[in-house]
Chain A
Amino acid sequence: DAGVTQSPTHLIKTRGQQVTLRCSPKSGHDTVSWYQQALGQGPQFIFQYYEEEERQRGNFPDRFSGHQFPNYSSELNVNALLLGDSALYLCASSLFGGPAYEQYFGPGTRLTVT
């Protein structure tokens, strides 16, 4: 049983470009949350998707958008990249309403904006 998977592992982009990150949840999970972790900091909540809709959103600008597909996988899109968007992007999956909402994390995508 595969856990949470993310792709790509690493990515280098230039300021102003757009990027798409992908996440496949753990088997049986229906909810995907995205987090941004800057170097030396704890992760910050970006948003959460359930039933193909954004259910909760953290304090991130509209340049950050997402999508969830019928198979529960999810994408995170960032437009007009800034240097400050360089970070590790983590995806976590869970079962909505499941026991104590335990979240399982993927390995992350490290984005470098130059």
Chain B
Amino acid sequence: KNEVEQSPQNLTAQEGEFITINCSYSVGISALHWLQQHPGGGIVSLFMLSSGKKKHGRLIATINIQEKHSSLHITASHPRDSAVYICAVRPLIQGAQKLVFGQGTRLTINP
């Protein structure tokens, strides 16, 4: 079993829909990252969380440390949101700055 699991693996929605991507992890962490990867490979950091909730524009990220679970929400989705969204955690046990990644969720927003 992977230390970081994301669901769903693939998600297709219509423009304007509310999107939720989930991330569960099995280790103690110091931080959780949500990342966006467009075709071509470049990764952009969206959020870094250690507790609570963060909002940036139409994106909202929440984390529940006790339940070892995080969600990324996109409101009023748009075709330009189409990308792979990756959850990554920084394990407490291994320390330092290593990130452990989920397998990603491929999101497609149709116009």
Q: Which of A30-69 contact B (CB under 8 A)?
A: 31, 33, 35, 37, 40-45, 48, 55-56, 58
On whether A90 and B99 interact (CB within 8 A), knowing A56-B94, A100-B31, A101-B90, the answer reads no
On whether A105 and B42 interact (CB within 8 A), knowing A42-B104, A100-B48, the answer reads yes
CB of B6, distance to nearest CB on chain A (Å): 8
* Chain A contact residue count (CB 8 A cutoff): 29
Most buried by B among A42, A44, A58, A88: A42
Nearest-CB residue, chain B, relative to A33: B97
- Which secondary structure dominates where chain A touches chain B? strand
Asked whether any CB of chain A lies closer than 8 Å to the CB of B100, the reply is yes
- B interface, size bucket: 20 to 34
On whether A102 and B48 interact (CB within 8 A), knowing A42-B102, A44-B101, A58-B98, the answer reads yes
> How many Å lie between the Cα of A20 and that of B10 in the bound state?
34
Most buried by A among B4, B42, B50, B94: B42
A-to-B contact residues, CB < 8 Å: 31, 33, 35, 37, 40-45, 48, 55-56, 58, 88, 90, 92, 94, 96, 100-108, 110
Q: In the complex, given contacts A42-B104, A44-B101, A110-B41, what are 9 additional A-B residue pairs having Cβ atoms less than 8 angstroms apart?
A: A37-B41, A43-B86, A43-B101, A45-B98, A88-B41, A101-B30, A105-B35, A105-B44, A108-B41
